[in-house]
Structure 1
Amino acid sequence: MRTLIYGMNVTLDGYIAAAGDDISWSAPSDELFQWWLDQERASSLTLYGRKLWETMSSYWPTGDQQPDATPAEIEFARHWRDTPKVVFSSTIDKVDWNTRLVTGDAIAEITRLKADGGGPMSIGGATLAAAAMRAGLIDEYVLATHPVLVGGGTPFFTALDSWVNLNLVETRTFPGGVVLARYETRH
Structure 2
Amino acid sequence: MAKLIYINNMSLDGYVEDERGAFDWFPPDDEVFAFTTDLLRSVGTFLYGRRLYESMAVWETNTALAAQSELTGEFASVWKAASKVVYSTTLAAVSTADTRLERQFDSAAVRRLKATASSDLTVGGANLAAQAFEAGLVDECQLLILPIVVGGGKPGLPTGMRVDLELIDERRFRNGVTHLRYRPLER
Q: TM-score, normalised by structure 2?
A: 0.91
**Equivalence for 1:33:** 33
Say whether residues 1:11 and 2:11 are aligned partners.
yes
**Which residue matches 1:93?**
92
Please list every run of at least 4 consecutive aligned residues from structure 1 whose deviation after the TM superposition is greater than 3 angstroms: none
Whole-Å separation in 2 of the counterparts to 1:21 and 1:149:
15
Q: Which residue of 1 aligns with 2:168?
A: 169
> Does the 8 A contact of 1:63 with 1:73 survive in 2?
no
Q: Quote the residue 2:125 is aligned against.
A: 125
Q: TM-score, normalised by structure 1?
A: 0.91
Q: Is the 8 A contact 1:65 1:74 kept in 2?
A: no
Cα distance per residue 1:58-111 (max 9 Å; x no partner):
x21145524871211111112212211111111112112211111134323222
User: Structure 1's 101 and 68: CA in aligned 2 closer, same or farther, altered over 3 A?
Assistant: closer
Change (3 A) 1:107 1:75: same
> Deviation at 1:116?
1.9
Q: Point out the more displaced range, 92-101 or 145-154.
A: 92-101
* Compared CA separation, residues 27 and 98, structure 1 to 2 (3 A): farther
TM superposition shift of 1:130: 0.8
Structure 2: gaps spanning 5 or more residues: none
Q: Match of 1:77, as an amino acid?
A: A
1:156 equivalenced with 2:120 (yes/no)? no
In structure 1, the residue corresponding to 2:56 is in which secondary structure? Answer: helix
Query: What's the CA shift for 1:154?
Result: 1.0
Kindly report the root-mean-square deviation, in angstroms, between the aligned alpha carbons of the 2 structures: 1.7
Q: May I ask how many residue pairs the two structures share in their alignment? A: 185
C-alpha distance in structure 2 between counterparts of 1:12 and 1:63, whole Å: 31
- The one-letter code matched in structure 1 to 2:177 is V
Structure 1 Cα separation of the partners of residues 60 and 80 of structure 2: 6
- Given that 1:18 and 1:154 are in contact with CA atoms closer than 8 Å, whether structure 2 keeps it comes out as yes
Contact 1:64 1:78 in 2 (8 A): no
